[in-house]
Structure 1
Amino acid sequence: MKNLTVERTENYLKFSLDQRDSGRFKVNVSKNPLTLALDHTLTLDFSEGSAFLPVSEVKGREFYSLIAPDHQAVGAERRVALPSLYNCRDLGGYVTTDGRLTKWGYFYRSDAPDHLTKHDVAFLSEMALAAVVDFRSPKEIAHNPDNYFAEKRHYQFDPHAEVAKEASLMPAKGADKDQQKVAKLLELAKTKAGQQRLVEMQQQMVYQMEELVLSAAAQQAYTDFMKVLVRQEVPCLFHCQGGKDRTGWAAAIILGLLGVPEETIYQDYFLTEINNEPRNQARMAIYQQYTDNAFVLDYLASLQKTKRAYLDSAFNAMKTHYGTMEAYAKQALGMNQETIEQFKEMYLY
């Protein structure tokens, strides 16, 4: 099975084949990633591996299967094209070290679906999700509960990531809480010692990522999460608030156990920086209404960034204490070799 890359521009979907084939090909379209049952068929003209389809012809979440004379390719858009979610994306289409492909439409990592439009609720409902997993704390959930979009089950697994929680809190309705947050940081920035502390605090997320691997609470949360996937409660959408760190480590576990190379896992992690840029700019604009202090703004910006050092910290902790992702899954997440092999057969083409 080969990957069919599908990318959205303003007006078109671009389909790309690694083989750079030219010619007219039929592309089967399915709404169901579990069966790839035929919904309708497209006829696309490829030139040097690329073809285009007007976006106006795309109806909801679609999965594409192309059968060429010497190979089959399957693909979908990586980012789920919803205006009210910046960072909802599919973990399908990643090539493993043994040449297999992660299945499209089974795992969606996302920012919190707590502010959806009616259109987006309908879109997600049509995706027929079996499970939604929320990694936020009870306080975060109470502040901005998820919208319901017809998922069969909804889980809350809290890894107790206090820094991540602080980093990803959405600006509150009204200015009071954001203004109070900035005021506290400004008080700290009045002294040289406080300024140094703010610089040091920019490393908090590094330590937090280590805790997501090693703390008992985090291990329990990710154990419960993996049980959902082993039970094949898919499609599954999992999220925290911004879909960056708590969600990022969950995605790393999935991809690592499926045999996706580490550098590809990093590339997936870095997509958050691109996807969340409009959201982060809006949040920083709110903070900038209350201060222009560089120490304060640099600290607040550091919590929103997607840095290699953050994921490095998680991987380093995992390797130091367990050696490999499989050993981590066995010793910390309650899996065994048989379960891991079954996991691969479930979720790889």
Structure 2
Amino acid sequence: MVKIIPLEKAENVRDLGGYKTPNGTVKFNKVVRGASLSDLSVRDREALQQYGVTDVVDFRSPSEAKDAPDKKIPTAKEYFLPVFGHDETKASISPQELLKQLEQGMTAQAQMIKVYRHFIEDEHAKKAYQEFLQILLANSDEQKSVLFHCTAGKDRTGFGAALVLDLLGVEQQTIMTDYLATNQYLNDRIANMTAAAKKQGAPELLVNGIEALMKADEAYLNESYTAAREHYGSLTNYAKEGLGFTAGEISDLQKLYLTK
């Protein structure tokens, strides 16, 4: 069901359409998730414009966006909504700094689980996702898409996709399947990164840490669900009580993004 949008210089860009819910099917050409857009080719930008991308939401930190700014898609409006003030996901961390933290006792898995809890608990993150949902609500034209992304399209974007699909009524296991599909589309990148680290003589601790940071893991997203249940009762209630998204707005979102 995962619909990848093939691009020359961007990975993990895919349409969230096609998933079934009790009230209909998620429409295609309405909401797209992706990884970094900093290396888009001219053809890529033209392809995304033709696909109907009219809004681009960037979840990256200010430093990530400064170091690798998005290549602009013609006619698309850009929204910079950093989920965190700095890159908690470690998507842009140097191998040296990562190794230092690992040697100090921080495991990559523990770091990522903390990040996914912060999606629910961190006020900065909540503000970003609240504004993201409002952008989706304003996307009332058919065949016009909102594209949202971070660096790898895995964590900040993965949680954003889970939140949207949950509000549309997609079942949790289907949402998890969409989330884990990232591993298929980042497999080459992960393999290249770990191979390069091994070639440079990196210790096994670092190689394993890179892999843990770069892969989508069921335990990571489950931590967001756990935190949402602890604080709000469910992910939908997190949107209502934590983000101030009303029942009427959820209904409007479903009208915009579901087809019978």
Q: Compute the TM-score of the two structures, normalised by the length of structure 2.
A: 0.92
TM-fit CA distance, 1:128: 3.1
Work out the CA distance in 1 between the residues paired with 2:159 and 2:31.
Answer: 14
Match of 2:224 in 1: 314
Unaligned runs of 5+ in 1: 6-76, 171-177
Match of 2:54 in 1: 130
Report the CA distance shift for 1:153/1:276 in structure 2 as closer, same or farther (over 3 A). same
Report the CA distance shift for 1:130/1:212 in structure 2 as closer, same or farther (over 3 A). same
Aligned residue identity for 2:171: P
Q: Name whichever structure is richer in helix by fraction.
A: 2
Between Structure 1 and Structure 2, how many residues are aligned?
Answer: 255
Q: Does 1:272 align with 2:182?
A: yes
Match of 2:35 in 1: 111
Report the CA distance shift for 1:187/1:290 in structure 2 as closer, same or farther (over 3 A). farther
Unaligned runs of 5+ in 2: none
Give 3-state SS (helix, strand or coil) of 2:26's partner: coil
Match of 2:9 in 1: 84
Work out the CA distance in 2 between the residues paired with 1:263 and 1:230.
Answer: 25
Q: In the TM superposition, what whole-angstrom CA distance separates every residue of 1:232-289 from its partner, at most 9, and x where no partner exists?
A: 1641100000000100111011100000000000000011000110111222233223
Quote the sequence identity (%).
30
Residues 128 and 151 in structure 1, CA contact (< 8 A), matched pair in contact too: no
Match of 1:148 in 2: 72
Residues 86 and 279 in structure 1, CA contact (< 8 A), matched pair in contact too: no
Residues 57 and 132 in structure 2, CA contact (< 8 A), matched pair in contact too: yes
Work out the CA distance in 2 between the residues paired with 1:246 and 1:132.
Answer: 14
Higher relative contact order, structure no. (Cα contacts within 8 Å, ≥ 6 residues apart): 2
Give 3-state SS (helix, strand or coil) of 1:101's partner: strand
Residues 133 and 155 in structure 1, CA contact (< 8 A), matched pair in contact too: yes
Report the CA distance shift for 1:120/1:162 in structure 2 as closer, same or farther (over 3 A). closer
Match of 1:290 in 2: 200
Q: Which structure's CA Rg is the greater one?
A: 1
Q: Does 1:206 align with 2:113?
A: yes
Residues 60 and 87 in structure 2, CA contact (< 8 A), matched pair in contact too: no
Work out the CA distance in 2 between the residues paired with 1:285 and 1:246.
Answer: 26
Match of 1:61 in 2: none
Work out the CA distance in 2 between the residues paired with 1:188 and 1:239.
Answer: 26
Residues 46 and 74 in structure 2, CA contact (< 8 A), matched pair in contact too: no
Work out the CA distance in 1 between the residues paired with 2:73 and 2:10.
Answer: 14
Work out the CA distance in 2 between the residues paired with 1:330 and 1:148.
Answer: 33
TM-fit CA distance, 1:231: 1.2
Match of 1:46 in 2: none
Q: Compute the TM-score of the two structures, normalised by the length of structure 1.
A: 0.69
Residues 132 and 151 in structure 1, CA contact (< 8 A), matched pair in contact too: no
Give 3-state SS (helix, strand or coil) of 1:203's partner: helix
